[in-house]
Amino acid sequence: MLVIPAIDIMDGKCVRLIKGDFNNPIVYRNNPVEVAKDFEKKGAKLLHIVDLDGAKAGYPVNLKKILAISRSLNIPLQVGGGIRSKEDVRLYLKNGIERIILSTIAIENPKLLCDILKEFENSKILVSIDIKEGKIATQGWRKKSKKNISDFVRFLKKLGVSFLVVTDISKDGLLGGPNLNLAKKFINEGFKTIVAGGISSLRDLEMLKKQGAFGAIVGRAIYEGKIDLKEAQKKIAFKSNLAKRIIVCLDVKNGRVVKGIKFKKLRDIGDPIELARRYSNMGADELLFLDITATIENRKPFYNLISKIAKEINIPFTVGGGILTIEDIRNLLKAGADKVSIGTGAVRNPNFIKKAVKYFGSQCIVVSIDAKKEKESWKIYIKSGTEKTEIDAIEFSKQMEAFGVGELLVNSLDRDGTQRGFDLKLLKAITDKVNIPVIASSGAGKKEDFLEVFQKTQVDAVLGASIFHSKKVDIRELKKFLSAKNLPIHL
């Protein structure tokens, strides 16, 4: 669960309101940019920015201040307040804001909401539902809509809205705890629900996490020291008890799925479209497509093939290989990828990752680390394991976390294709140092290997290839086995 610090801007200052009352703001700092920098230093991975003056006026008032915050940070922002047109949305997104929060126009102008969702990616648009005395509040919480909440929720689901920000205004700013029952209603509807209002302690965060909230927005409790952001990040944010994922990898060369040992002696496995369809139907949680020769051959990914695969599956789809520019990422997402995995491009140009996170958000960016043991450390290799660097894998992992990536994919060149089990020392060394999700790759040979890596390291997902291609292990049976061992698994 994400712990998201809030910065509400009023008269250019960082403030908090009590139950949305504009007449009695609590002023905490005069410089929101400095507040944002402080949150980033303390480990925040996403900030929640509200233009309170804009919410009241009906147009962005603190635009320059918000863009100044964005330019000063390496982490993404979600922004709301006074955004009432497609032009407002476009302006913010064009200037590097990751997500836009819509409230008033979502309630009062559903046609405009439809148009915005058609023009921009759904992952970029959050709808805020602010509840006041059982009604949805609009216009900076000063008016109550007559729209029925249940009807509005059904409308949002029909539109394909994924993210909601839900606030109980009666709780906001009072440090009395969130409305857990209200939050649960929206979580149960299947929305990625970000909860705001009244959060005052780590226990509140733990309760929301247990309910399945996607995130929690925290304001006054952080400003007044009731919640330590660093501690919250460590205990709540990323090392979660959410379901562990089983990911299947398709290594693709010349349009065919191949597999080798330690990136060598490749053998043909089959058609990627057919295999993708099979693994999706078998219950894989995600699919990873790696174009293993794109970087070596200095060419772009196979967009057409990726598009065909995306149409055949109904699970999250990550694509890697040959990704060196922002345009490469944009084209892959357009082709149907949900995330991109970047290896050589990240090592050669770490600042490219900063830019990618700014443009597309942490959730889209996975950094792939191919590591090999060298004496007492692990060195990174690039170009599908063909070129050694002197970069330490552990230190690079920490750097990528600082740059805001969403996940790390850790490949052990010593174990790739061997089916001798995962490199537990490497994986533990990395998961002990970072707080973002880590995907374990290389070495799966039997069901017990998956159990061991989940139990002995803090990885969030495990990737397999040979073990599934050979039909040595069935994904459904693997999941039943892990679930029986009390691991949280999607069956």
In a 13 Å sphere around the CA of 252, the CA atoms on its Cβ side amount to 28
Active site residue 88: no
Q: State the burial class of residue 158 (Cβ atoms within 10 Å of its Cβ: 0-12, 13-18, 19+).
A: exposed
Strands 99-102 and 125-132: parallel
116 touches 102 (CB < 8 A)? yes
Coil, helix or strand at residue 10: strand
Active site residue 370: yes
Q: Which of 251, 285, 291, 416 is catalytic?
A: 251
320 touches 291 (CB < 8 A)? yes
99 touches 361 (CB < 8 A)? yes
**What gap in Å lies between CA 2 and CA 44, rounded to an integer?**
9
6 touches 19 (CB < 8 A)? no
Question: Which residue carries 């402080």 as its tokens?
Answer: 38
Q: Which of 8, 370, 449, 460 is catalytic?
A: 370
- What φ, ψ does residue 345 adopt, rounded to 5°? -60, -35
323 touches 301 (CB < 8 A)? yes
Residues in the chain: 491
**What gap in Å lies between CA 264 and CA 252, rounded to an integer?**
13
Cβ neighbour number for residue 151 with a 10 Å cutoff: 9
Which residues have a catalytic role annotated? Answer: 251, 370
